[in-house]
Structure 1
Amino acid sequence: MEYVQERIATLHDFDGVAPSAPTDRAVVVVPMTARDHASLAAERVFSTLETVAPREVIVALRADPDRVDEVTTWLGSFDLSLEILWCSAPAVESALADARLDGQRGKGRDVWLALGVAAGRGEYVAVHDADAGNYAATHVPRLLFPLSRGYEFSKGYYARVENDRLYGRLFRLLYVPVVRALADAHDAAILAYLGAFRYALAGEFAATSDLVRRLRVPRGWGLEVGTLAEAYGEAGFEDTAQVDLGMHEHDHRAVGGPDGLGTMASEVAASLFRALEGAGVMPDYDSLPGRYRERARSHIERYATDAAFNGLTYDRADERAQVDAYAAAIEPPGVDDRLPAWEATALDPERIATLASEALAERRG
């Protein structure tokens, strides 16, 4: 336990506190795929939200038509003011195509759709995943508390320690050493901002609805980094806070495969580099992989010492192999396919909500 302040306001968990917060004025967005439904973690998340009683819960659902009925029935069993936003409904896809916003599906696109709806229905918006195995009723109030004190953006952070091992590998082994290697070469405020977050890749954040309407959002796994970069421009150091959410247990992914950490690393890195280039930081993509590896190997030794100190299992060779895999993600970011800020598009989010609702009703007969 400590009480160190970072460059941004850092709110610590000293005694399991559940601060008073405006949950009744907040809409909670939970992105979900069909595979998440009815899992023990998702069951815990939604049953816990019943005790939090936010103004509304919007589930940003990506699911094939043949899975929608069972997911809808399950979600309907919770005592919540809950709306399912079927993000992959054919009518929603058509509306996006008409607005020239079709393209890659992904978590970021689902959250973006839900953010547009949520910003019109509550003063505050909180976002978190559905796979936290130790989700607690304190999480949403903690995320919202800084907003009630005048901050515009709030980010959650936590420790990822399970089964006597350190997790959070993409954050520990890619994000942190890349950002620090870049900070060694560039004296830029945006790098100081991105480096101030204790868990930059956490899926949990909250913001005022005004700020939410101004966010551009990456379509895929770059969502978290892209959101932080947008928050830097819109809220900055003074109007940003990060909040201790304790210890989290999440699903774990393999490094390889289409949905593995290697793929996620490419999207996270592209989102990071796109944001930096937009802020005038031009990485040297030829030398950065080597400088990244050097930084990452130094961190591996520190993690090994920390793990030994706490009696945890730690595999240096495996972590080094992951660093080598992630280094392939260090390259120019390519075409910018971010979704625009809602305030900059003519697309009506409530029209999207209506289309999704009608599509669900049609599926259910």
Structure 2
Amino acid sequence: MTFQMQKIFESFDATIQDLDDGENEQFIDQVEHYLQSLPLDKQKEIKEKLNINDLTSRTIRNLMLTQGSAAMLAIIVEVMGFAAFTTLTSTIAAITGFFGITLSFSSYIFLTSAFSILTGPIGLIAIAAGGGVMLKKQNDKVSKMFVPIGVVQLLLPIMMGEPEGRHYEAFIEAWMVPYEKQKAIQREIHKLKDTYKEYEHQLSTYRELKYKAFLEENKEEQNIEQQMAQMARFLEDIPENEKSARYLELSSGMKPILLYKAKLEKKITLNDANKGMFNAVKNLVANTSLKSKISDCDKLYERVAKQRVDETIEMKPPCLKKYWEAIAVINAQIKSCKQQQQECSKKISEAEKTMVTLKETISTKENDLKRHQKRWYGLKDVK
């Protein structure tokens, strides 16, 4: 702000010389009006500093001719202190008005807003209490307000009519180094996140394929059970000369199981025939054991019967060709489903491992970006 005032005040002497009589009078009237609006004690102090008896347009004109406008305005700012902010904003308005430029309201309120925050109760309390959140909020507000005043600074050479413009190439060139590094890190993070999303999509696809293969496998297993059940109904149609030794062995092993089961069922019937309270308790215990054995017989019989059907499929009897051929096709489909599930499981595992690595890398790069932006304050706000 000191620099802004210096640039503005120093420009007055040269600028006023280029003004016509009407514009010159208008500017002097503005200064007089402002001085007349000040408290009497401030007017008295300004008079003492300027060594004049009154604050009229005539004395102001004489001061500008003898001491220069910059000296006069500097004394006004020195005397007014906090109220000098009003002086400065009025001055900016006056200068820009000569050139037909109208600044935004934020340009005028910047000085008072920034300093009222930093030197006022909010700023002091935040600093004393270490209120990080409050400071950040106020800092963001002030940062945004710096934009208009920065624009004013960039426009000063043109507004003041300086013979030589200011060159910012060196600043821009130096600033572009950290800026390009920021962009490079951001591009890398963006690329990593895109890759992560691709793996997320792949993971979802593999899981869906695995589930579909699982459902297909269950469906085919039900189909094969139905084909084997139908095939078992026609095993007696197989000619004796086409039956293998294993088939005959299994068939002969099934008969004793049925006989033993029938014997157990007969015992249960006899036990139920015995009446009396003592026999009822005794028969309940005995029948429970017999029923458990019958259940074991059923399971054994089913297992042997299935083995006999499996052996029939291996025998491939011509009379049951349509069954064992259909079963062979279903078995091939079940095998394919199992292989697909294994492949999907492998792909899922690989994708999950890669995604963990990518997530760690993204986190590291984001931390690098934050440190870089913190070091070069303001980069995070550059889009």
The TM-score with structure 1 as length reference comes to 0.21
Larger Rg: 1 or 2? 2
Flag the structure with higher helix content.
2
The TM-score with structure 2 as length reference comes to 0.20
- Bigger RCO of structures 1 and 2 (CA < 8 A, at least 6 apart): 1
